[in-house]
Chain A
Amino acid sequence: MTSDGWPLWEVFVRSRRGLSHTHAGSLHAPDAEMALRNARDLYTRRSEGVSIWVVPSTEITASSPDEKDPFFEPAADKPYRHPTFYDIPEGVKHL
């Protein structure tokens, strides 16, 4: 069982009632079309009305764990950047 020349693909699936595509997993396939078919078998069990995205893994740029501090920290230590910081004035509805 080799997958020589079969690159890795990342699979994102939106379920029938889902609002957005969620990363479901990955698989090997020779090209995008085959990746879609395999994703359908592996991750959707062919439920109708779902949407599948496949992306070559090499196309994805991930944030590096080493950069965690400068990347994600600033937001956490400045409470005024979060919506919960502010009181909602009386009389404002539907916010």
Chain B
Amino acid sequence: MSETTDTTATTATTGTAIAQAALALGDDALVLSHRLGEWAGNAPVLEEEVALANIALDLLGQARVLLSLVGDEDELAYLREERDFRNIQLVEQPNGDFAHTIARQLYFSTYQRLLYGQLATGDGPLSGLAAKAVKEVAYHQDHAEHWTLRLGDGTTESHTRMQRACDALWRYTGELFQPVEGLDVDHDALQTAWLDSITSVLEQATLTVPSGPRTGAWRAGAGRQGLHTEPFGRMLAEMQHLHRSHPGATW
């Protein structure tokens, strides 16, 4: 938050800062929702198909509310270029195998639950939404934790794959704790709680907590600044194709 003594400037900054925060969180939810949607018809079992679709629908609901605070939800989703998206790089990572999808969900849902938990106790403009979303997110986290335990403490093959997935996505977790303008949360407390939670789950799952880079030039909030990884452009092309072919159409 910028420290300014001019009250009018502060009010104006806060207004746009809220929009910035809503955009960042809305993009996170939108992009991960789209990734989960890609599992439809491809999940390991029918029941998991339903669970992943359920989580995707929850996230899409969150995205709609958040993006509507900023402007027209459809225009924001379908007419922005890659550089204008503010989601963290973690959520745009391709699904990979089932373990990768679960690791990505574990990292993100744990973060979301702590973040919304903090926002819900505050009295900011996002507190109402956060209070509603935190229930959904608690279920997402629970689901991801269960699968992490199952795969990590399953067969040799599933253990290997789960460890590989946790290691591969670790580098993207540093970005979760970059301060976001307009978000009135204690990022240090968030990070501590997140690490505790993840460490406990991974240890229970007989997995090793990854070590290695969680920060760095390309991973320190790059997504929040509109810098994304290569697969994201292809994802957007697919997501936005129809709307760009028929601009202004209603559906």
Residues of A within 8 A of B (CB): 1-3, 6, 27-30, 33-34, 37-38, 41-42, 46
Contacts and interface: CB of A to CB of B under 8 A. Distances in A.
Interface string B36-77: 000000001111001100100000000000000000000000
B141 to A, nearest CB: 13
A48 B150 CA distance: 27
A30 B155 CA distance: 14
A27 B143 CA distance: 17
From B45, B51, B54, residue with most partner A Cβ within 10 Å: B45
Nearest to A45: B54
Interface of B: 44-47, 50-51, 54, 139, 142-143, 146, 150
A34 B46 contact: no
Nearest to A29: B47
A41 B57 CA distance: 12
Contact of B47 (A2, A33, A38): A38
Contacts of B143: 37
21 contacts: A1-B44, A1-B45, A1-B46, A2-B45, A3-B45, A3-B46, A6-B45, A27-B47, A29-B47, A37-B51, A37-B142, A37-B143, A37-B146, A38-B47, A38-B51, A41-B50, A41-B51, A41-B54, A42-B47, A42-B50, A46-B139
Contacts of B146: 33-34, 37
A28 to B, nearest CB: 6
Given A33-B146, A34-B146, A46-B139, A41 B47 contact: yes
Most buried by B among A1, A30, A33: A1
A56 to B, nearest CB: 15
B40 to A, nearest CB: 13
A28 B45 contact: yes
A1 B139 CA distance: 25
Nearest to B41: A1
A30 to B, nearest CB: 8
A38 B50 CA distance: 8
Contacts of B44: 1
Contacts of A30: 150
B137 to A, nearest CB: 13
Contacts of A28: 45-47
Contacts of B45: 1-3, 6, 28
A34 B150 CA distance: 10
B3 to A, nearest CB: 43
A42 B45 CA distance: 13
B62 to A, nearest CB: 15
Contacts of A38: 47, 50-51
A69 to B, nearest CB: 39
Contacts of B47: 27-29, 34, 38, 41-42
A30 B46 CA distance: 12
Residue among B44, B46, B139 with most chain A CB within 10 A: B46
A46 B143 CA distance: 14
A69 B47 CA distance: 39
Nearest to A42: B50
B52 to A, nearest CB: 10
